[in-house]
Amino acid sequence: MTDIKSMNLEQMTAFFKQLGEPAFRAKQVFCWLHKGARSFDEMTNLSKSLRQTLTRECFIDVPVVERKQVSALDGTIKYLWRLPDGNCIETVLMRYKHGNTVCISCQVGCRMGCAFCASTLGGKVRDLRPSEMLDQVLFTQLDSGEPISNIVLMGIGEPLDNFDTVLRFLELVNSPDGLNIGMRHISLSTCGLADKIDKLAQYKLQLTLSVSLHAPDDETRSKIMPVNRSVGVERLMKACHDYFAVTGRRVSFEYAMIDGVNDSDAQADLLARHVRGMSAHVNLIPLNHVEESPLKPSRRVKEFQRRLEEQGITVTVRRRLGSDIDASCGQLRRKAMQDKQ
Ligand code: SAH
């Protein structure tokens, strides 16, 4: 059976040609799928026999709402979707003045092992397919009735560890015959797989690359982010500088502030030195406490911010949305898994 929703228009056109159908059929089906059609029977502008053929050859999977939490504070909605194979993934819809942003997952679980992150606690179960990433945007929009204008790949999983799928997903949501969401409205967040950052740069996409740095020195970073033991801060920063040089897009650095771990003045100074000269943006994130972790939120966010700003670095402090609904990714899926045990 073929996962037709993961196909781009070109593949779909070739597929319909094989079936002896004209090219415009591909476009019709592509449009239906990208509007969230649940079966070929809904596609009323296709002949009955073509619908039967497609039903025989292809499947259309649709995620089911397993849990849904709405923040009373700011209207943030968190979805826990159940996939047909029983796995669950999270998607968060955030409302900002500049439009609605959806935060989506790219893997079931994660194998990166960051010490502060709930998504990685049970390891990686499997990669998502392009259609399963697209569905999170489509069905969040359909269920909430809210139009989505921005996407962040900051949910469960490591996007660059599922590289080809993520590239296809970007092509799909960007398609003028689909959701048509501009690359400049998309952010991709990575724990810092340097060789994949190099590879991504070659595509010269206009999206925003966010790098989860969280520590400017190897000793600290290797402790909290195992990926650093093989990559190292110097190699990672080289990839970021090169990325900026090749794409002209400024890189954004995420920095979750952890009490007594990465919040010293010396670390602020080293961070400033790393990002200087690449028109970078540093986003300080108050750490979300994860029950299983001994790490605590820093009490020095303001001082750290000021110290960076004094050195000419652009800094923002992330506003916490949905703090009443476990909106940080990984936590809801984890709770649901524990409830089932
Ligand atoms: N794997 C990707 C994207 C998923 S995580 C990445 O590492 O960037 C999205 C962001 O949330 C990352 O910056 C991650 O480091 C951060 N994060 C994870 N757990 C957190 C926590 N408990 N508190 C604050 N930020 C956290």
Task: Indicate whether 106 pLDDT > 90.
Answer: yes
Pick the CATH number of 64-340 from 3.20.20.70, 3.40.50.720, 3.40.640.10, 1.20.1070.10: 3.20.20.70
Q: Where are the domains of the chain?
A: 2-59, 64-340
Residue among 179, 143, 8, 127 nearest 62 (CA): 143
What pLDDT, in 10s, does the model give residues 10-34?
999 999 999 999 999 999 999 999 9
Question: Tell me, what's the pLDDT at 138?
Answer: 98
What pLDDT, in 10s, does the model give residues 141-193?
999 999 999 999 999 999 999 999 999 999 999 999 999 999 999 999 999 99
What pLDDT, in 10s, does the model give residues 202-237?
999 999 999 999 999 999 999 999 999 999 999 999
Question: Tell me, what's the pLDDT at 26?
Answer: 97
Residue among 112, 224, 209 nearest 157 (CA): 112
Q: What are residue 150's DSSP bridge partners?
A: 101
- 329 catalytically annotated: yes
Q: Cβ(52)–Cβ(70) under 8 Å?
A: no
Question: May I ask the CATH architecture of the domain 2-59?
Answer: Orthogonal Bundle (1.10)
Ligand 1 pocket by C-beta < 6 Å: which residues?
Answer: 114, 116-117, 154, 158, 189-191, 212, 254, 256, 285, 287-288, 290, 328
DSSP label of 327? -
What pLDDT, in 10s, does the model give residues 241-287?
999 999 999 999 999 999 999 999 999 999 999 999 888 999 999 99
For ligand 1, atom 15, the nearest C-alpha belongs to 212
Question: Tell me, what's the pLDDT at 340?
Answer: 65
Distance 91 CA to ligand 1 centre (A): 14
Confidence band, pLDDT 50/70/90 cuts, at residue 327: low
Task: Indicate whether 326 pLDDT > 80.
Answer: no
| 3-state helix, strand and coil shares in percent for the chain, rounded to the nearest 5 | 40, 20, 40
Between 142 and 96, residue with greater pLDDT: 142
Question: Tell me, what's the pLDDT at 341?
Answer: 58
For ligand 1, atom 3, the nearest C-alpha belongs to 154
pTM (predicted TM-score): 0.95
Q: Among 117-121, 145-149, 334-338, which range has the highest average pLDDT?
A: 145-149
d(CA 63, CA 10): 25
Confidence band, pLDDT 50/70/90 cuts, at residue 325: confident
Same fold, 2-59 and 64-340: no
d(CA 92, CA 170): 18
- 57 catalytically annotated: no
Q: Which atom of ligand 1 is nearest to the CA of 289?
A: 22
Q: What burial letters (b/e) apply to 258-296, b meaning 16+ CB within 10 Å?
A: beebbbbeebbeebbebbeebebbbbbbbbbebeebebe
Query: Do strands 99-103 and 88-96 pair parallel, antiparallel, or not at all (unpaired)?
Result: antiparallel
Confidence band, pLDDT 50/70/90 cuts, at residue 328: low
